[in-house]
Amino acid sequence: MLAKVRAAALLGLEAYPIDVEVDVGGGLPAFAIVGLPDTAVQEAKERVRAAIRNSNYELPSRKITVNLAPADIKKEGPVFDLPMAVGILAATEQIRPQGLGGTLLLGELSLDGAIRPVSGMLSIALAAKAMRLHTLIVPERNAGEAGLVEGITALPAASLLQVVRHLEGLDLIAPHVRPARVPTEPAYDVDFTDIRGQQHARRALEIAAAGGHNLLMVGPPGAGKTMLARRLPTILPALDWDEALDVTRIYSAAGTHLNGGLPALARPFRSPHHTTSSAALIGGGPVPKPGEVTLAHHGVLFLDELPEFHRDVLEVLRQPLEDGFITVARVQSTLTFPARFMLIAAMNPCPCGYHGDGRRECLCTPPQIARYLQRVSGPLLDRIDLHLEVPRVLSQDLLAQTPGEPSAAIRDRVAAARARQHDRFGRGSACNALMSPRQARRQCQLGEEEREFLRSAIERLSLSARAYDRILRIARTIADLDGRHEVTLADLAEAIQYRVFDRPLRLVG
């Protein structure tokens, strides 16, 4: 007897249909899985065998062949356990399922027949809709994720026996119902009110958030660089629906289930350790998985102690910073992952950390400082819009009782600036940091005085063409924060202040 069950698998962030074909015939007893299964799929034989037996059914002593079609793509993970078990029961005529061809089944089986959650459910639900399959039988913990896709009926199943009874029409599973009240605003446990002093740094982070600019902070240990970075997501605009689905889909594919099936609320904040490999940062593996740059999509990637990262790890950031995506090539496939994030980096000014501190003596020699700074390449620095010096916090600021401005107030100004950029570019995710050089010149119409000021700055600071374009983008964002259409001389002067590494003698002198 032959039975066919519809399933799906994940390749990168995209799902594709899989037909689980089960043939039960004569010959010596055997259980074979074909169709390029990996080890986890091969081990499904024992899980399926025990789950069927513990659900009061039998696995006959016959030759059972399970084919996962198409057979030219490698299958991985335990997602096929449930469709295999149902296919075997149907092929051996222990059950007579109804409407099996129009239903997609997914789930990992425990030995007792319980169904465990699987990764990538949101991508699979989107693929099912494209396949015009509107009913999904999924693990209970995945039902909320599948139900995010409009037009999909997600049936949450707890066990193999429950699925069988539903397919036979004996005890139908009630569809998942999305909660009537879904929270739309994230709740943060940190706030900008926690920060004392550092007005210059707070201003720079507000500009970075308003324009989507990358930011590098340079300062001694204990100056508050990490504290500032961790509060950046609290002043970013809330995710819109499409962005929330993007973030949820990425984390689901990575095996992280957010908010119990609800869409993501907060923008991602990723902070990998400096020992992170390039594969972990950009994604990789035999079957490539999302890396840190993709997990930070629509959010913030924070690299603390930037010069301590391996040079090859930092250099792989150049493509995603420029293009907003990362391409991972393998022999069998080439996958593209989204990677549109804000890069926030922090570093000390020298190996000991106290060069230019004023309170503690630096023990480093000029050659040591120069070598330390050269660990971060010029092309990477050119892709970071704002370079900011973060000095030690003053004692009077540290002991002040007056709280700083809250994140909510800053977020309102940032959201208003982003709204102006949306009106300007006509796309919800567009921001000043993504302007091309031609757009930057068109959106920053300068008068004679402003052009002369910039000409002088370019000559004195030896600015590159890329640095010049980034100054225009920063100035455009400053004007947007103030609600002005024109870019003024004051905007350009403030923008140039945020190009510390265009003035290297201040750090190594």
- At 344 the pLDDT is 97
Position 102 scores a pLDDT of: 85
Alpha helices in 328-464 (DSSP H): 366-373, 378-382, 395-398, 407-425, 437-443, 448-461
Q: CA 192, CA 231: separation in Å to the nearest integer? A: 6
Q: Give the predicted TM-score (pTM) of the model.
A: 0.89
Rounded distance, CA 296 to CA 184, Å? 20
Beta-ladder partners of 343: 301
**pLDDT the model gives residue 116:** 94
Q: Would you say residue 311 has pLDDT above 70? A: yes
The per-residue pLDDT for range 349-377, each reduced to its tens digit, is 999 988 888 788 898 999 999 999 889 98
Tell me the range of 8-22, 273-287, 494-508 where mean pLDDT is highest: 8-22
Q: Partners of 5 in the beta sheet?
A: 20
In the chain, % of residues over pLDDT 90 = 55
Structure tokens, 16: 């594709």
Residue 22 to residue 84: CA distance in whole angstroms: 7
pLDDT the model gives residue 509? 39
Residues 76, 287: contact at Cβ < 8 Å? yes
Least confident of 204-218, 224-238, 285-299: 285-299
Give mean pLDDT, residues 214-219.
94
Higher pLDDT, 382 or 295: 295
For range 187-197, the mean pLDDT: 87
Q: What is the pLDDT of residue 192?
A: 92
User: Which stretch of DSSP H or E encloses residue 44?
Assistant: helix 44-54
Domains of the chain: residue spans and CATH: 2-167 (3.30.230.10), 192-432 (3.40.50.300)
The pLDDT, as a whole number, for residue 263 is 77
Average pLDDT over residues 57-77: 90
Q: What integer best gives the mean pLDDT of the chain?
A: 88
Sign of the alpha-carbon torsion through 373, 375, 376, 377 = positive
CB burial of residue 91 (10 Å; 0-12, 13-18, 19+): buried
What's the whole-number mean pLDDT along residues 56-67?
92
The CA–CA distances, whole Å, from 430 to 8, 326, 483 equal 33, 19, 18
pLDDT confidence band for 139 (50 / 70 / 90): very high
What percent of the chain is modeled with pLDDT above 70?
Answer: 94
pLDDT at residue 63 is higher than 70: yes
